[in-house]
Amino acid sequence: MNEATLIRKGLFRKVLRAILMMVSISIAFFIFAVLGAVNTAFNAGVDVAAANRLVTVNSINFTVSMPYAYYGRVQQVDGIVDVTHANWFGGYYQQPANFVQTFAVEPESYLDVYSELILPPEQREAWLNTRTCLIVGQALATQYEWSVGDRIPLNSNIWQQADGSSDWDFDICGIFTAEDSSVPTNYAMFHYEYFNESLAFARDTVGWMILTTEDVSLNDQVADEIDALFANSPAETETTTEAAFSQAFIEQLGNINLILTSVIGAAFATILMIVGTTLVLAINERTKEIAVLKTLGFNSGRIFRMILTESFLLSLIGGGIGIALAAGLVVLVAGAFQSFLPGFGMPLSVVLQAIGLMIAFALVTGFFPAFNAMRIRIVDAFGKL
Amino acid sequence: MTDQLPLYQLRDLSKTYTRGKESISIFKNLDMDIVHGDFIAIMGPSGSGKTTLLNQLGGIDSPSSGQVVFEGKRIDNLSQGALAKWRSRNVGFIFQFYNLMPTLSAAQNVELPLLLTGLPGGERKKRVKTALEIVGIADRAGHKPRQLSGGQQQRVAIARAIVADPKILLADEPTGDLDRTTADEILSMLQQLNTELGKTIVMVTHDPSAAKYAKRELYLDKGEFIERGAGR
Please report, in tens digits, the pLDDT of each residue of chain A (385 residues total).
888 999 999 999 899 999 999 999 999 999 999 888 887 777 765 565 677 889 999 988 878 899 999 999 999 999 999 999 999 998 899 888 888 989 999 999 999 999 889 999 999 999 999 999 999 999 899 889 999 999 999 999 888 888 888 999 999 999 999 888 778 888 999 999 999 998 888 889 999 999 999 988 898 999 999 999 999 998 999 999 888 887 776 666 667 777 878 888 888 888 888 888 998 898 889 999 999 999 999 999 999 999 999 999 999 999 999 999 999 998 888 766 665 566 677 888 899 999 999 999 999 999 999 999 999 999 888 874 3
Q: What chain A residue is nearest to B80 in terms of C-alpha separation?
A: A299
Residue among A292, A297, A382 minimizing CB distance to B116: A297
Task: Judge: B103–A293 Cβ closer than 8 Å, yes or no.
Answer: no
Q: What is the pLDDT of residue B21?
A: 83
Give the mean pLDDT of B158-162. Answer: 94
Task: Judge: B84–A298 Cβ closer than 8 Å, yes or no.
Answer: yes
| CB-CB contact of A87 with A205 (8 Å) | yes
- Nearest chain A Cα distance for residue B161, angstroms: 9
Strands (DSSP E) found in B61-125:
65-70, 73-74, 91-94
Task: Judge: A9–B99 Cβ closer than 8 Å, yes or no.
Answer: no
Environment class of A15 (CB within 10 Å of its CB; exposed 0-12, middle 13-18, buried 19+): exposed
Residue B111 covered by a domain: yes
Task: Judge: B101–A298 Cβ closer than 8 Å, yes or no.
Answer: no
pLDDT tens-digit series, residues A33-60:
988 888 777 776 556 567 788 999 998 8
- Of the candidates B77, B73, B60, the residue with the CA atom closest to the CA atom of residue B170: B60
Strands (DSSP E) found in B97-215:
168-172, 200-204
Strands B91-94 and B73-74: unpaired
Name the helix (H) or strand (E) containing A190. Answer: strand A187-191
Say how many C-beta atoms besides its own lie within 10 A of residue A318's C-beta: 27
| Residue partners of A193: CB distance under 8 A and separation at least 6 | A131
Please report which residue ranges of B91-179 form alpha helices under DSSP H: 106-111, 121-134, 150-162
Rounded CA-CA distance A79/B179 in Å is 99
Say how many C-beta atoms besides its own lie within 10 A of residue A225's C-beta: 17
CB pairs under 8 A between A and B: 66
Q: Report whether pLDDT(B217) > 50.
A: yes
Verdict on whether the full-model pTM lies above 0.90: no
Task: Judge: B84–A2 Cβ closer than 8 Å, yes or no.
Answer: no
Give the domain range for residue B54.
36-63+80-229
Q: What chain A residue is nearest to B61 in terms of C-alpha separation?
A: A379
Q: What is the pLDDT of residue A385?
A: 35
Distance of CA B142 to the CA centre of its chain: 25
- Nearest chain B Cα distance for residue A21, angstroms: 19
Residues in chain B closer than 8 A to A10 (CB atoms): 103
Sign of CA dihedral A246, A250, A255, A258: negative
Give the mean pLDDT of B193-205. Answer: 93
Here the ipTM equals 0.91
Q: What is the pLDDT of residue A41?
A: 76
Rounded CA-CA distance A280/A369 in Å is 5
Q: Report whether pLDDT(B3) > 60.
A: no
| CB-CB contact of A7 with A309 (8 Å) | yes
Q: What is the pLDDT of residue B118?
A: 87
Residues in chain A closer than 8 A to B55 (CB atoms): 378-379
| Residue partners of A246: CB distance under 8 A and separation at least 6 | A45, A46, A49
Task: Judge: B116–A300 Cβ closer than 8 Å, yes or no.
Answer: no
Rounded CA-CA distance A278/A21 in Å is 8
Distance spanning both ends of chain A, measured CA to CA = 28
Task: Judge: A13–B113 Cβ closer than 8 Å, yes or no.
Answer: no
Rounded CA-CA distance A67/A343 in Å is 34
Q: What is the pLDDT of residue A343?
A: 65
Q: What chain B residue is nearest to A298 in terms of C-alpha separation?
A: B84
Integer-rounded Cα radius of gyration of chain A? 29
Task: Judge: B89–A297 Cβ closer than 8 Å, yes or no.
Answer: yes
Residue B16 covered by a domain: no
Residues in chain A closer than 8 A to B103 (CB atoms): 9-10, 12-13
Give the mean pLDDT of B204-210. Answer: 90
3-state helix, strand, coil in chain A (%, to 5): 55, 20, 25
Task: Judge: B111–A3 Cβ closer than 8 Å, yes or no.
Answer: no
Residues in chain B closer than 8 A to A294 (CB atoms): 60, 84
Rounded CA-CA distance B117/B20 in Å is 41
Residue among B61, B87, B101 minimizing CB distance to A297: B87
Number of domains in chain B: 1
Task: Judge: A300–B93 Cβ closer than 8 Å, yes or no.
Answer: no
| CB-CB contact of B53 with B225 (8 Å) | no
pLDDT tens-digit series, residues B108-137:
999 999 999 989 999 999 999 999 999 999
Residue B153 covered by a domain: yes
| Amino acid letter for position B47 | G
Mean pLDDT over all residues of chain B? 90
| Residue partners of A281: CB distance under 8 A and separation at least 6 | none
Q: What is the pLDDT of residue B70?
A: 94
Residue B2 covered by a domain: no
- Domain borders along chain A are 3-44+255-383, 65-234
Give the phi and the psi of residue B177 in degrees, each rounded to 5: -115, 15
Task: Judge: B81–A301 Cβ closer than 8 Å, yes or no.
Answer: yes
Interface residue of B17, B79, B83, B116 to substitute, partner A, most A CBs within 10 Å: B116
Interface residue of B64, B79, B86, B103 to substitute, partner A, most A CBs within 10 Å: B103
Give the phi and the psi of residue A159 in degrees, each rounded to 5: -100, 160
Q: What is the pLDDT of residue B176?
A: 85
Residues in chain B closer than 8 A to A292 (CB atoms): 95, 99, 101
Task: Judge: B60–A379 Cβ closer than 8 Å, yes or no.
Answer: yes
Please report which residue ranges of B22-64 form alpha helices under DSSP H: 50-57
Residue B217 covered by a domain: yes
What SS3 state is found at A180? coil
| CB-CB contact of B164 with B155 (8 Å) | no
- Of the candidates B162, B177, B174, the residue with the CA atom closest to the CA atom of residue B210: B174
Q: What is the CATH number of the domain that holds B100?
A: 3.40.50.300
